[in-house]
Amino acid sequence: MSSKPVIGVLALQGDVDEHLAALHRTGAQARAVKSRAQLEELDGLVIPGGESTTAMKLLHRFEMEQPIVERVRSGMPLWGTCMGMIVAAHDVADMEQPTLDLLDVTVRRNAFGRQNESAEVDLTVPALGPRPFPAIFIRAPWIERAGPAVDLLASRDGHGVMVRQENVLGTSFHPELTGDPRVHAYFLGMVEHARLGKRSSAA
């Protein structure tokens, strides 16, 4: 097993390069992932921002839906940002939209407004330490319902915007567009913990 975890960024659309650069800065091996074969080489996967309906169609076209679900349900950490959180969610409020159903939340698309209502908000995230996180929201979803196994890590205007359910992390904002590495480092910690668990099981 490599000394550095290998984290993939789903490269079908969205903020791929920004996530790759941020992950490299945290010390991970980061690579763009475009095929189901590449999933087998990963210790963790990021689904970036973009357009969720298009992303699900592309996942279906490239036969990547089921392999991702199987890997995550067997313990591989997954992080969805903005669109990625919608893709990972159980369902989308008031819409018949396919998802991977890996995170027991109901999300509402574009809940914080359209592109011209994008904002940077100083967000309180205790899991990241006392300093507020400069969260960038762009056509961002919010969480309307969270299941009992979901931990709320941060909220804005009374709605969840960062959650975790075991090995699945969701953020409705874009940490990859900031110079603050803390959310990427948090996810890297999840990946390293999962790798340690695999080593212990194999011993």
Catalytic machinery residues:
82, 174, 176
Contact 28, 40 (CB under 8 A): no
Angle at 157 between CA 153 and CA 162, to 5 degrees: 20
Rg from Cα positions in the chain = 16
In DSSP terms, 168 is beta-bridged to: 78, 165
CB atoms within 10 A of CB 55: 23
Cα–Cα distance measured from residue 161 to residue 79, given in angstroms and rounded to the nearest whole number: 13
Closest CA to 78 of 27, 40, 29, 44: 44
**DSSP tag of 116:** G
The answer to whether 105 and 170 have CB atoms below 8 angstroms apart is: yes
